[in-house]
Amino acid sequence: MSESDFILLQMRGITKRFPGVVALQDVHLSLQAGEVLALMGENGAGKSTLMKILGGAHQPDAGEIFIARKPITLHGIADAKRQGIALIHQELMLAPNLDIAGNIFLGNEKNAGSTCAWLDRSGMRKRADALLKRVGLDLPSSTPVSRLTAGQMQMVEIAKALSQNARIIIMDEPTSSLTLGEARQLFKIIADLRKGGIGVVYISHRMEEVLQVADRITVLRDGKWVGDLSAAEATQEKIVAMMVGRPLSAWFPDRMARIAGEVILEVSELVVPGAGAGVSFDVRKGEIFGFAGLVGSGRTELMEVLFGIHAPLAGAMRLTGQSYSPNGARDAIDRGVYLAPEDRKRNGLVLPMSVAQNISLPNIANYGGRAWTLMRAKEKKVAEQEVSRMRIKTDSVTRKVVNLSGGNQQKVVLGKWLAMQPKVLILDEPTRGIDVGAKAEIYRHMAALAQSGIAIIMVSSDMEEVLGMSDRVAVMHERRIERILPREEATQERIAALMTGALR
């Protein structure tokens, strides 16, 4: 096949640093015309950064990019488009208020044949209809995008890429919002694109899909290139081993000498909004119960149900033996169930307020003195205790939280809960985006808290963290608990296989 020997894209020695962290180090990638290349790796392995560089959104610190063997520099997204690179985001970027044709030519209206300022609607529609036919979408291009299903929108995105004469199409988790039938349709179109000599970079976590659609697989881990596999030699086991194979570091406190106590939280057949089936588990006193899974596997939604933010569709919960069905965060807090949310800047902290004000916030009603006066001296004292207990680096408790580093912000979130009496402490991604030093400190606090008899539920996408901290690990996949593994049985390979659906 001489045509497919034509190398469309080569990225060599790509390195990208962000303040204090190397996101990509000496990464290689090549793509031939008419080839589907799957890019795989755990969350945070550097896939998105690499694709953002290819899409022109980031500039690499080192490395070269060749398109059709010619070296190029991408200064911005427009540059990448001009080179025939189209990126289809996981969250589709369509304007729901415009029709299909309007979306396909959004930002490219002039190409529709009109050089004047007025919109050549009929010209755009005619061209759009032809493109829709090519992607197999049987709808008039005057249909408003708000009426399309997720799958149809995906087709429109592909048509849009084709309208810009894309030679390289990057698809980021394209099937994450598609039904099985829609996904099949997508694979058919990918096969057509491949025949037309277009190179596709396919990012996905779903093993079966990758093995079905890809010609070759490139695996990244911790920002480094691990290796390439051809479709013929690739197996799920091989890919998983390449994705996770790294040693556990020694930051984790020794968690051997503990005995789990009685059950504190009991969850049975709880159906989270958006889930098809219920989940059941129990959490014991003094235990760290980990939740592993991919982003979007329903862990955060489950935690928000436990914390009373959303009501479950069905099922029951019991807290220390009594029925527990929180109606709002206030209820959960009053019962001793606290949540340190995944997105601390959005849900965890009031950034323009001070450290002391944030720490007192969930318990503020108890700071009311005579004539409703806020007891600021008590507030300050409690905050200072938490600052010294959590070792929050701040010159004063009156400093605004927005001025603290990520690690210290997270410690404020923990401090605000520890200033009260938690029974169950839910930590959603407790160390996301914070430095290693603060990470180790947070791990020590978690271990100490568990020791003191608090039940900790930890959601984490960091495999080392899950393995290093959890006494038991529940692995979630598509909003179900695939399996609950005790510490001894939890291995990286097993968890990775369970959470990608490779193992049932």
Minimum distance of other proteins from residue 254's CB (angstroms): 21
With b for 16 or more beta-carbon neighbours within 10 A and e for fewer, the 150-179 pattern comes to: ebbbbbbbbbbbbbbebbbbbbbbbbbbbe
> How far apart are alpha carbons 299 and 421 in whole angstroms?
24
> How far apart are alpha carbons 331 and 226 in whole angstroms?
48
Minimum distance of other proteins from residue 261's CB (angstroms): 27
> How far apart are alpha carbons 462 and 442 in whole angstroms?
14
Q: Which of 58, 70, 75, 76 is nearest to 14 (CA)?
A: 58
**By C-beta, is 216 or 344 nearer to other proteins?**
344
> How far apart are alpha carbons 199 and 185 in whole angstroms?
18
**By C-beta, is 271 or 353 nearer to other proteins?**
353
Minimum distance of other proteins from residue 335's CB (angstroms): 11
**By C-beta, is 30 or 176 nearer to other proteins?**
176
Helix pair 406-418, 376-390: axis angle to 10 deg: 120
Residues that bind other proteins (CB under 8 A): 18-21, 23, 43-44, 48, 307, 309, 328-330, 332-334, 339, 341, 346-353, 357, 360-362, 364-365, 367-368, 372-374, 403, 405-407, 416, 432-438
Q: What are phi and psi of 455, to 5 degrees?
A: -90, 125
* DSSP label of 334: H
**By C-beta, is 345 or 487 nearer to other proteins?**
345
Minimum distance of other proteins from residue 362's CB (angstroms): 4
* DSSP label of 176: T
**By C-beta, is 34 or 223 nearer to other proteins?**
223
> How far apart are alpha carbons 470 and 443 in whole angstroms?
11
Minimum distance of other proteins from residue 161's CB (angstroms): 23
Minimum distance of other proteins from residue 56's CB (angstroms): 17
**By C-beta, is 261 or 273 nearer to other proteins?**
273
**By C-beta, is 141 or 357 nearer to other proteins?**
357
Minimum distance of other proteins from residue 296's CB (angstroms): 15
